[in-house]
């Protein structure tokens, strides 16, 4: 057993921040940074049955699986008692999908099939016809087909091997839309664009780009995300196609994203630091336990064989490691400095949080 205790990271930051500089920007098309308000996907869900498994399906204790099989057989004219069913090649599943915008009857969609019982694997299974419902309870699509599994599971003589998740599968184009949900855009008096990343500067720049293209003020930013556009009787699909093809110079946000579970850290190249000094030290305590067997003397009638633990404790107090970064340091300089002092991913996470708290990290810090 090992226990590692890391001492707190000390940050010394100057009061002055980096000199004001124009925010970095780059050219993007409007279609890449906006969506049309009201035009979106809708989630669908269904409850179905996967058959054809090779003994890896739900066991008998999964009552709802056998009950559903009995219901399916009843619709086909055969009445059976659920309590008398003992099969291992079927599995109860939830089926999920997304209904795209402007869906017409016959539109095909991918579906994800996930086991909800105690099935070991869905490999080789086929999903029976399953209705997919929206949040209003209405049926909008049906799904059926053979599953593709991105993994496997094998076991023999108490030894097992598993890759990825064999209880989740996917059916490409496995669902077919049954309803016409395409909105009529021809009668819209106005429409709105929504920025994927809210920013007042970018909203103003998008509106200005649209007005410059049409030579009159048809667009205005109502807030940091929404840009209102007056259609003025024009063909709305043609209007949107023209608008979405425009290029606009947008400000890129400075952001650091940290996944604390995996230790993954992603930092944009535009992230800047104020002048800062980082002191990072580590105190490691290692506790090792070994077990020795104590036995009584030969032919002894008194005494028992016992296991006696032997514990040793070693401590290591490493000297403080220090790096200094200049005013306006880049991410590359920060990473190189942290690597030079041997900081781990978890050390970097603690340092970034401390940098943000000290006001030296000029970026958004997002922890997943």
Q: Is residue 242 part of a domain?
A: yes
pLDDT, position 20: 45
pLDDT, position 5: 39
For residue 16, pLDDT beyond 60: no
pLDDT, position 142: 95
Confidence of residue 4 (pLDDT cuts 50, 70, 90): very low
Q: 216 is in which domain, residue-wise?
A: 25-39+184-251
Q: Give per-residue pLDDT as tens, 197-220.
A: 888 999 999 999 999 998 989 899
Q: Once rounded to an integer, what is the mean pLDDT over residues 146-167? A: 71
pLDDT, position 61: 61
Q: Is 197 in the same domain as 276?
A: no
d(CA 278, CA 323): 5
d(CA 142, CA 129): 7
For residue 23, pLDDT beyond 90: no
Q: Is residue 220 part of a domain?
A: yes
For residue 100, pLDDT beyond 80: yes
Q: Is 89 in the same domain as 109?
A: yes
15 close to 103: Cβ distance less than 8 angstroms: no
Q: How would you write the chain as a 3-class SS string?
A: CEEEECCCCEEEECCCCCCCCCCCEEEEEHHHHEEECCCCCEEEEEEEEEECCCCCCCCCCCHHHHHHHHHHHHHCCCCCCHHHCCCCCEEEEEEEEEECCCCCCCCEEEEEEEECCCCCCCCCCEEEEEEEECCCCCEEEEEEEECEECCEEEEECCEEEEECCCCEEEEEEEEEECCCCCCCCCCCCEEEEEECCCCHHHHHHHHHHHHHHHCCCCEEECCCCEEEEECCCCCHHHHHHHHHCCEEEEECCCEEEEECCCCEEEECCCCEECCEEEEECCEEEEEEEEEEEECCCCCCCCCCCEEEEEEEEEEEECCCEEEEECCCECHHHHHHHHHHCCCCHHHHHHHHHHHHHHCCEECEEEEC
pLDDT, position 311: 65
Last residue of a domain, one of 177, 200, 223: 177
Task: Dig out the tokens for 276 from the structure.
Answer: 């800062």
Q: Is residue 126 part of a domain?
A: yes
Last residue of a domain, one of 119, 154, 177: 177
Report the first-to-last Cα separation within the chain, whole angstroms. Answer: 29
Query: In total, how many domains does the chain have?
Result: 3
pLDDT, position 10: 45
User: What is the pTM (predicted TM-score) of this model?
Assistant: 0.62
Q: Is 144 in the same domain as 108?
A: yes
pLDDT, position 155: 60
Q: Is 240 in the same domain as 262?
A: no
What are the distances in angstroms from CA 292 to CA 61, 194, 295, 301, 311? 45, 69, 10, 21, 11
Q: Is 167 in the same domain as 192?
A: no
> Who wins on pLDDT, 226 or 77?
226
The share of the chain scoring above pLDDT 90, in percent, equals 21
Q: Once rounded to an integer, what is the mean pLDDT over residues 321-335? A: 71
Q: Once rounded to an integer, what is the mean pLDDT over residues 290-302? A: 66
Confidence of residue 239 (pLDDT cuts 50, 70, 90): confident
pLDDT, position 3: 40
Q: Is 128 in the same domain as 156?
A: yes
Q: Is 239 in the same domain as 265?
A: no
Confidence of residue 2 (pLDDT cuts 50, 70, 90): very low
Q: Give per-residue pLDDT as tens, 29-69.
A: 998 889 888 888 889 999 999 998 888 888 766 677 777 77
């Amino acid at each position: 057993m090992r226990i590692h205790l890391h001492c707190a990271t000390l940050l010394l930051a100057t009061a002055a921040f980096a000199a004001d500089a124009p925010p970095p920007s780059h050219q993007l098309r409007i279609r890449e940074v906006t969506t049309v308000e009201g035009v979106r996907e809708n989630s669908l869900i269904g409850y179905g049955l996967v058959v054809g498994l090779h003994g890896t399906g739900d066991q008998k204790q999964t009552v709802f699986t056998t009950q559903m099989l009995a219901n399916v057989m009843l619709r086909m004219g055969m009445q059976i008692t659920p309590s008398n069913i003992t099969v291992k090649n079927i599995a109860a599943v939830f089926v999920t999908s997304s209904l795209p915008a402007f869906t017409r009857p016959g539109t095909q969609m991918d579906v994800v099939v996930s086991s909800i019982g105690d099935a070991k694997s869905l490999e080789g299974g086929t999903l029976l016809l399953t209705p997919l419902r929206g949040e209003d309870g209405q049926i909008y699509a049906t799904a059926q087909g053979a599953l593709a599994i991105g993994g496997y599971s094998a076991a023999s003589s108490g030894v097992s091997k598993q890759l990825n998740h064999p209880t989740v599968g996917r059916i490409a184009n496995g669902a077919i839309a049954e309803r016409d949900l395409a909105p009529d855009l021809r009668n819209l008096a106005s429409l709105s664009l929504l920025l994927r990343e809210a920013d007042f500067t970018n909203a103003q720049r998008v509106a200005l780009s649209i007005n410059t293209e049409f030579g009159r003020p048809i667009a205005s930013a109502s807030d940091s995300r929404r840009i209102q556009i007056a259609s003025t009787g024009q063909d709305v699909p043609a209007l949107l196609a023209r608008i979405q093809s425009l290029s606009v110079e947008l400000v890129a946000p400075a952001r650091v994203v940290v996944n604390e579970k995996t230790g993954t850290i992603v930092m944009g190249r535009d992230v800047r630091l104020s002048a800062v000094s980082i002191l990072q030290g580590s105190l490691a305590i290692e506790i090792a336990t070994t077990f020795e067997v104590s036995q009584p003397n030969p032919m002894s009638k008194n005494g028992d064989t016992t296991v006696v633990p032997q514990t040793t404790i070693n401590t290591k107090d490493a000297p403080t490691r220090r790096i200094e970064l200049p005013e306006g340091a880049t991410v590359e300089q920060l990473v190189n400095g942290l690597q030079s002092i041997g900081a781990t991913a978890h050390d970097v996470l603690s340092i970034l949080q401390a940098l943000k708290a000290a006001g030296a990290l000029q970026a958004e810090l997002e922890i997943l």
